[in-house]
Structure 1
């Protein structure tokens, strides 16, 4: 394989990471439940969060209840009735989960940016080892018998 480099070559390296938090082998927090909890917090409703995310109410409710069972503590608190037709809010524990997850993601983002920079430098530096092909290599024709 041959590479042709010029002085204006620009290397874009992207490191991708996602965080999941398990407790005794059971997932308690990851990108999916984070998005669900964040949307419930923003909309104030499990039904509205379900509509916004394209999930069923039952799916989100079951997911939240499963998380509450694993943690042994309430994550959301719902109140029925009134002008607002009921409200669902995150409990302090639910808010802490979101806050911790957001903090972890920010720290991981800083680390990945540093590593992206390092890898970009590494890839750029290997150009000294690349061979520049001066002539087109002829590919031999192979005919099956």
Structure 2
């Protein structure tokens, strides 16, 4: 079979809803395949996604024409099964999310911050800079406090904290590091006051 080239285009949504979807990266085809896999039915997948059966059926046909291969094995009276290609697409999406998770979270946080400022010029969040950590993103989504996350590096986070540009800094530092360690040599001066 001849290899096809596909373009990947990223987009984002602006919403007041704080709940996070199942996937870090939203894609209509991936969401459709996942819903079919989870429900075992095109009809049930349509209900889960909030579309009509006909719409989902047409979307499947459109994608199968585009890809030149079936995505769902359709048998009357049996559960809908994903084809090997559809299974591979779901697996690839999970692989991409695992590989780029921290970058995706950083990008989401940066875009969110920019638009929050645009909607509310008086917005005065608690600013956290430094190493990326998905727990911090979870904290931002679940707390009543307004939090701005700027994921950079340990050094930049500590420099921002020392310079008064943030209230908290995330950084990686081995617990057992002594005053003579490489880690202390790299970061120690950022903790000292008056230097």
Q: State the TM-score, normalizing by the size of structure 2.
A: 0.45
Q: Show structure 1 runs of 5+ residues with no match.
A: 1-21, 129-145
Partner of 1:88: 80
Partner of 2:61: 65
Bigger radius of gyration among the two: 1
1:35-78: CA deviations, max 9, x gaps? 11001011110000111111111111111111111110111011
Q: How many residues align?
A: 102
Q: Show structure 2 runs of 5+ residues with no match.
A: 10-24, 107-131, 134-149, 166-195
Partner of 2:32: 36
More RCO (CA 8 Å, sep 6+): 1
What secondary structure is seen at the aligned counterpart in 1 of 2:69? coil
* CA distance in 1 between partners of 2:26 and 2:42 (Å): 18
Partner of 1:56: 52
Q: Report the CA distance between 1:118 and its aligned residue.
A: 2.6
Structure 2 counterpart of 1:106, from 73, 98, 107: 98
1:3-60: CA deviations, max 9, x gaps? xxxxxxxxxxxxxxxxxxx72689xx95221111001011110000111111111111
* CA distance in 2 between partners of 1:54 and 1:41 (Å): 16
Q: Report the CA distance between 1:110 and its aligned residue.
A: 3.6
Cα RMSD after superposing both structures = 3.1
What secondary structure is seen at the aligned counterpart in 2 of 1:65? helix
